[in-house]
Amino acid sequence: MPAERLTVFVVEDDASVRDSLALMLGLSGYAAALFPDAEGFLCAWRPDWAGCVVADLRLPGLSGTELQAELRAKGSRLPFIIITAHGDVPTARAAFRAEAVDFLEKPFDHGQLRAAIENAFSREKQRLRRAAESRRLATLTAREREVLEQAAQGLHAKEIAAKLGISPRTVEVHKTRIMEKLGARNVAELVRFALAAAPREGE
């Protein structure tokens, strides 16, 4: 399953509900993959899968929230939408604490589900963009990272050169290479990359 296409992974043991969701998703233009239980999904799961999971709360074997926990333990950040005919406040709170995008009680309106999927896909696109930026940042040399950090602070080539003990011409060469490697078109984009490269508090 291509990683570049976002997919809705449906984990639902009721065949009629599964078929109904598959029809709705297909008519709405979504790519979908269907699983009758959490174990089947986990056996098929690959780290490069992208999209979101729509999982029933009550499943044979692992529940929807237990599947969510299993995937988190494996390092997956796939957004989750929990659906259930047996919703209650504590269960919903537990799902949201585990970062579920939404918690929908059956019977739900297909418009609600589409809205939840779009929300999940928005989160997923941001995650994929950050991952791509991290891969590009990893291609920079230590010196290029230093130049990037200084340029992002608004320093000009002569100022960066003085700070790093290199010539302004060398700074310009580094900046050109940095722009090429990161696919940045201007200084504003360099600043965004520099912020992404900066260590976050607590890390």
Domain count, the chain: 2
At residue 201, the pLDDT reads: 42
* Domain closes at, from 86, 115, 131: 131
At residue 56, the pLDDT reads: 93
- Lateral strand order in the sheet of 51-56: 31-35, 7-11, 51-56, 80-84, 102-105
In a domain, 1, yes or no: no
At residue 130, the pLDDT reads: 85
> Which CATH number goes with the domain that contains 77?
3.40.50.2300
In a domain, 203, yes or no: no
At residue 27, the pLDDT reads: 94
Buried b (16+ CB within 10 A) or exposed e, 27-47: eeebebbbbbbbbebbeebee
* Helical residues (DSSP H) of 89-186, grouped into ranges: 89-97, 110-137, 142-152, 157-164, 168-182
Is the backbone of residue 175 left (phi > 0), alpha (psi -120 to 50) or beta?
A: alpha
Q: What is the pLDDT along the chain (203 residues), one digit of tens a residue?
A: 333 589 999 999 999 999 999 999 999 999 999 999 999 999 999 999 999 999 999 999 999 999 999 999 999 999 999 998 876 667 777 777 777 889 898 888 899 999 999 999 999 999 998 888 888 888 999 999 999 989 888 889 999 999 999 999 999 999 999 989 988 888 778 877 777 666 544 43
Model-level pTM? Answer: 0.73
At residue 86, the pLDDT reads: 76
At residue 154, the pLDDT reads: 83
